[in-house]
Structures are given as C-alpha cells and as structure tokens.
Amino acid sequence: MSVTAKIVKRLLRILFQKAISSPLQGPSKDALTMTNTAHSREERLAAKLRENLRRRKAQARAISSADESASSSESGHENESGGLSKPAPES
C-alpha cells in the first residue's frame, strides 16, 4: 500500500469514528428560536383576539341597553324633559 493510501485510509477511519461517536442532535438553536417566536406570536394574537371580543361584547351590551331605554321612553310618549307630550289640537 502506498503512503498516500495509508493516509487516506487513516483519515477516513477517523472521520467514520467521529460520525459514529457523536450523538444525533435535535433541531438547531435557530429552529428552536423560530418556533418560540412563532409560539409567542400566536399567544400575542390570541390575547388580542380575546381583548377585541370583550370590547365588542361590551359595545353590544351598551347599544342594546341604550335601545331598550329608548324603546321604553317611546312607549310612554314622553318628551325629552321627561313629561308627557300634549296631543295635537283638533281643528
């Protein structure tokens, strides 16, 4: 065997042993950071959606209570001052 062949064989054996002895690694740190970033983004969006839903429900309750108070005041034929309106005079 030539000297070059021996060197190549030795280098290949070293590389092969390193490949076998090193444990398999999981996803890289960049991949973990991206998943954490995506996860935190989803959490932020979910919180914003919950906040928006609460605000819209409060607005809907305010509008419905305003409608109910307006309909109750119209049913009594009250004017803005709170008194009853006078019927129109007949001519």
More confident residue, 81 or 89: 89
Domain of residue 36, residue span = 31-67
- For residues 49 and 42, give the distance between their C-alpha atoms in angstroms, rounded to a whole number: 10
Summarised one tens digit per residue, pLDDT across range 5-59 is: 889 998 888 888 877 776 666 666 666 666 778 888 899 999 999 999 999 999 9
Does 44 reside within a domain? yes
Does 51 reside within a domain? yes
Does 9 reside within a domain? no
- In the prediction, which pLDDT does 19 show? 75
- In the prediction, which pLDDT does 38 show? 81
Does 83 reside within a domain? no
Count up the domains in the chain and report the number. 1
H-assigned helices in the chain? 3-21, 29-75
C-alpha dist (Å) from residue 1 to 6, 14, 16, 46:
7, 19, 21, 68
Does 63 reside within a domain? yes
